[in-house]
């Protein structure tokens, strides 16, 4: 089992729709979870961090965490073509190393 798993996609949504991205992780002891956005040829950019069960909202982005199910998700409301990118889920494992999933490619169609 991979330490951090994501569907590779691509996920295609129309402009204005909600994009839903999912991630599961293997270490039950993990306490810190992050979502990054990476445009082609660029480095990852932090979007959201979440540490407690439940939802955390920041503008059009909502991160959801369920530690019992070892599941974290990212919702993007009112998706825009500029949101088209690869979204990386990251988890701090073993208390000290940040491990990334393979990423989900998102396409937002105008």
Partner 1 sequence: ETGVTQTPRHLVMGMTNKKSLKCEQHLGHNAMYWYKQSAKKPLELMFVYNFKEQTENNSVPSRFSPECPNSSHLFLHLHTLQPEDSALYLCASSRGTGGQGTEAFFGQGTRLTVV
> Which positions lie near partner 1, rule CB under 8 A?
31-32, 34, 42-46, 49, 51, 88, 90, 92, 95-103
What is residue 18's DSSP assignment? P
As measured in angstroms, the least distance from the Cβ of 36 to partner 1 is 8
Q: Which one, 71 or 100, has the nearer CB to partner 1?
A: 100
As measured in angstroms, the least distance from the Cβ of 99 to partner 1 is 6
Q: Are 55 and 62 in contact (CB under 8 A)?
A: yes
Rounded CA gap, 96 and 50, in Å?
Answer: 16
Q: Which one, 14 or 95, has the nearer CB to partner 1?
A: 95
As measured in angstroms, the least distance from the Cβ of 87 to partner 1 is 12
Phi/psi of residue 82, nearest 5 degrees: -70, -10
Rounded CA gap, 60 and 88, in Å?
Answer: 17
């Amino acid at each position: 089992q991979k330490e951090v798993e994501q569907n590779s996609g691509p996920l295609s949504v129309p402009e204005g729709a909600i994009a839903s991205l999912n991630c599961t992780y293997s270490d039950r002891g993990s306490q810190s979870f992050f979502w990054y956005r990476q445009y082609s040829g660029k480095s990852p950019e932090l979007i959201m961090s979440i540490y407690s069960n439940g939802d955390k909202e920041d503008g059009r982005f909502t991160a959801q965490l369920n530690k019992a199910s070892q599941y974290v998700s990212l919702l993007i409301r009112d998706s825009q073509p500029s949101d088209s990118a690869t979204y990386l889920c990251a988890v701090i494992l073993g208390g000290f190393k940040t491990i990334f999933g393979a990423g989900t490619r998102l396409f937002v169609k105008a």
